[in-house]
Amino acid sequence: MAEVSEVLMSVLSTIRVPRPGDRVHKDECALSFSSPESEGGLYVCMNSFLGFGSQYVDRHHTRSGQRAYLHISRTRKAPKEDDENSGSGDPPKKKPTRLAIGIEGGFNVEQEQYEEEVKVVLFPDRQQVTSDDLATMPDVVRERVSLAMAGLMSADSVSHTLQVQQWDGELRAESRHAVELKQLNNGTKIPPSGWRCEVCDLQENLWMNLSDGRVFCGRRYFDGSGGNNHALLHFQQTGHPLAVKLGTITPDGADVYSYDEDDMVLDPKLPEHLSHFGIDMMTMEKTEHTMTELEIAVNQRVGEWEVIQESGATLRPLSGPGLTGMKNLGNSCYLNSVMQVLFTVPDFQSKYVSNIDKIFNEAPSDPTQDFKTQVAKLGYGLLSGEYSKPAPDPGEGSEPSSEPRGDQVGIAARMFKALVGRGHPEFSTNRQQDAQEFLLHFINMVERNCRSGVNPSEAFRFLVEERIVCQQSQKAKYTQRVDYILQLPVPMDQATNTEELQEAERRREEADSSGAPPPVPVRACIPFTACMAALSEPETLTDFWSSAAQAKTTATKTTRFASFPDHMVIQVKKFTFGQDWVPKKLDVSIDVPDTLDLTALRGTGQQPGEELLPEVAPPPLMTPDVEVKAPVLDDSTLSQLCEMGFPLEACRKAVYYTGNTGIDAAMNWVMGHMDDPDFSAPLVLPGTSSAPGTTPTESFSEEHLATIVSMGFSRDQATRALRATSNVLERAVDWIFSHLDDLESMEVSEGGRSAAESEGSREPPPGPKVRDGPGKYELFAFISHMGTSTMCGHYVCHIKKDQQWVIFNDQKVCASEKPPKDLGYLYFYRRVTE
């Protein structure tokens, strides 16, 4: 022990005590998914606080020279039974009473109980030092090492902090209508019980309007349950904004909903508002589930196998290389599904997994912050099969269950999720997200990190050709843009079961009027051929400014492929807006084919004898007698559009290009241009811009400019990106990589200088690199969504492996018996080579 004491004394200066702000990685290896629960435990460097599994700790010691590591190992405790779970073998679980994470009464994220062993290990000889051993060592050694050990063990790990941010879904804002709410003196008095909807006589899910005391049923849920929307209809007819849910009123409060603010709210004057209609809040008792309790029930069910709807069959669990499940980190199923599919693509496998040793050897000192390292780590974790093992039966310690459940140990991609979501307003949170938006976000990050070398996102990249023909002059304009996803429209008027849908709607209306339970919903059946026809048919542009006619006229726009990628991603546009501009999901079944031939949709470019529209910009906006250089925009229309959540610059363009003619025209412009690549780019008027990339009043951060220029772009391009994104660096980088085709004319050369600045450089650089080939494809994967919105619900993916469809539902990986190919959201095809 004296020898060990001398070694500790020699490395004492390298042993640090964690301070506030230090990043402590004590739950996950920086280069693998090893954890303290894994075989061999986890080694935490006592200087950098990076964690390493037993297979990588020697590598770190050799590269860094660090010798002292805190070794943490955990083994599961045998579960205890209680009265509630007698005989089940499951540990007692405290039921959540609050829609929250990380606070008392919320969802418990540390459900497993472990026995923990901690000791210091000195490399390269792996000499071990326990707390008892420290007691026999010199005071200076004992105090310093003990403080470091205690500090490491008490510090919050990075992964835990990022995964389980304290979140409270019950925090509600005070309604802006509450304090000045006008209540009608109509003599209405509400009894303490026996309520019914005034329209349909429902006796549950009832809401009393706080302005007039009228009682109506709540909203109908997506599955047909709930109410019949009569409380909502009453608000739409009267504008009375606040309603209280009857049956939730207690002396402590009640559920109050603001239809105008579209959210649950607080009413600080609730006792007074209830008393106006004869309700004594202090004597009321709870008889209905609160909205929070209903949401908790949904959150508790969302991870169950039944949710994926391959019901009625016992699915066979699968394991092995390429069959590894991913833990749900709290609404991370969108990320899990996308990454499972991407690592089925050979380009991503060869870029990140085949070169993993080279990537790890070249990793920076902190590999947790390196994009390439973390993607390689995730890819290897999914493909190697090392983590594709059945999860231990909760009732028998580590013994497998006799019933095949499909659950795996799997991998928890906390470090990866934190890195790819860093700085993003949505992907950095624990909220549910749109899988399509995340796919594009990740592709942008790949583009950003692969400016030199092999770029796997080229597998999805293709060119779109847009042909616009002026109907007055019959002259054409051709443009090309880069895209990664084909968005497929859903023509609801082409449903093959129209009569059945009409009959279902008739029965629903009868149920609404009679108060009967709503009928079973009927799903619209849309032919895939109808969707493709809607995609390829010409679009009429009514406000097209023709440079040939020098006036606004009608034009037709036709979209075709200028190239076909190796892998085609198709997004079914299931999410749309209703007549009231409320987002909704189309409940449709589409007979998506296993094979696809897009050859007929290849663009042909300018035709023989076809004249092109001259390159002349439209005139600036004019007032009746003065030409202005700043647009005169209707503030009211602009504010209404912005309140709907659309980008400011898109709203400005909508108001400008519709000539201040009102909200309806502007809204139609927005809906018709949402897919434009420059939808959110600034409104630039002819004659108002100065030299390229600058305006007299603009001021951009030199640090931000230098960062973008260091990526190989010119200063003009960096300026344009910052201008388009309000000088926000992260957004500017995303913008510039999603507008590469728009930047072709702003020539880029090595070192960030424009070609005009480079002596001897006269040839413009090539456009974005795209692969091309036959337009014939076969389906190999699809991602499905369940729920009413991309912001809620659940995602799973199906992937074809060796001619067998496999379902990946977070940690559950099973052979799929009836893959629901007609209900997918994102479809992935690969080129068929003849």
Residues with catalytic roles: 333, 794
Estimate the crossing angle of helix 435-449 against helix 414-421, to 10 degrees.
Answer: 80
Rg (C-alpha) for the chain, rounded Å, is: 31
In the three-class reduction of DSSP (H, G, I as helix; E, B as strand; rest coil), residue 524 is classed as: strand
Residue 1, judged by CB atoms within 10 A of its CB (0-12, 13-18, 19+), counts as exposed
Interior/surface letters 125-152, b for 16+ CB within 10 angstroms, e for the rest: eebebeeebbeebeeebbebbbebbebb
Query: Which residue's structure tokens are 């849309």?
Result: 526
| Calculated CA dihedral for residues 381, 384, 386, 387, nearest 10 degrees | 40
Choose among 103, 104, 100, 432: nearest CA to 292.
Answer: 100
The answer for residues whose C-beta is within 8 angstroms of residue 529's C-beta and 6 or more apart is: none
Contacts for 265 with CB less than 8 Å, ≥ 6 apart: 172, 173, 174, 175, 178, 242, 256, 257, 258
Strand, helix or coil for residue 815 = strand
Beta strands in 250-363 (DSSP E): 256-258, 263-265
Picking from 744, 785, 739, 784, the residue whose alpha carbon sits closest to that of residue 767 is 744
Nearest partner of 786 among 796, 777, 776, 800, judged by Cα: 796
Residue whose tokens read 């892998």: 567
CB within 8 A of 391, min separation 6: which ones? 405, 407, 408, 409, 410, 811
Cα three-residue angle 444-449-453, rounded to 5 degrees: 120
Helix H or strand E encompassing 514: helix 498-514
CA dihedral sign, ordered 73, 78, 80, 81: positive
Q: At what angle do helices 635-643 and 648-657 cross, to 10 degrees?
A: 140
Asked if 715 contacts 709 with a C-beta cutoff of 8 angstroms, the reply is: yes
Rounded Cα distance between 571 and 489, Å, is 9
What are the tokens at 453? 């070398």
Q: Please, which residues bridge with residue 584 across strands? A: 576
Q: What angle do CA 790, 792, 795 make, to 5 degrees?
A: 70
DSSP 430: S
Token output for 361: 């050897």
**CA-CA distance, 535 to 557, in Å (whole number)?**
11
Q: Is 720:708 a contact under the CB 8 Å cutoff?
A: no
